[in-house]
Amino acid sequence: MRILGIDPGCVVTGYGIIEEAQGRIAHLDNGGIFPPAKAAFSDRICFIHDQIEVLIAKFSPEAVVIENIFVAKNVQSTLKLGHARGAAMVAASRAGRPIFEYTALQVKQAVTGYGHASKEQIQKMVQALLKLPGAAFTDASDALAVALCHANSYRMMRKVKAG
């Protein structure tokens, strides 16, 4: 199963693509979507949407996984994050891809075994699990972690259904 993980953001939207086959997970790509900083907010959201569409067309993921929103102290930041998530979700939905969501706690537990792991711990575990030559930048590591979380969850769901 090919999985596109997304860590949404208005300044940077991280993405990571992995493939799980026969219990093995391979890293395919990761990076960031950087909307033009001086563009109008609506144009930045459109840019995120369009770039997610490009990634879906290029990699044909069977699942799109997005980190769920947590309520931040700044309500405006939370609302803007919601717009970025929505742009990614619309792109995935239009492409007919199923969308899965996991909380930060679920992702951290799946990747590090500890629900309050730091960003650095996530980066190091993602690097180790995917055998990357170096740590991906934070947003891409978070997106890869979301994808790994889904790969593990999906594998468990298949075992439960089979058993």
Q: Give yes or no: 67 in active site.
A: yes
> Long-range contacts: 35-44, Cβ < 8 Å, 24+?
35/10, 35/11, 37/11, 41/10, 41/80, 41/83, 44/10
Residues 6 or more apart whose CB falls under 8 angstroms from that of 114 comprise 108, 121
Catalytic residue among 7, 43, 101, 120: 7
Catalytic residue among 19, 50, 67, 142: 67
Catalytic residue among 20, 43, 62, 139: 139
Q: Give yes or no: 142 in active site.
A: no
> Beta partners for 2?
19
Residues 6 or more apart whose CB falls under 8 angstroms from that of 111 comprise 117, 122, 125, 126, 129, 145, 148, 149
DSSP-assigned letter for residue 114: -
What CA–CA distance (Å, rounded) separates 116 from 77? 21
Q: Give yes or no: 7 in active site.
A: yes
Q: Give the residue numbers marked as catalytic.
A: 7, 67, 139
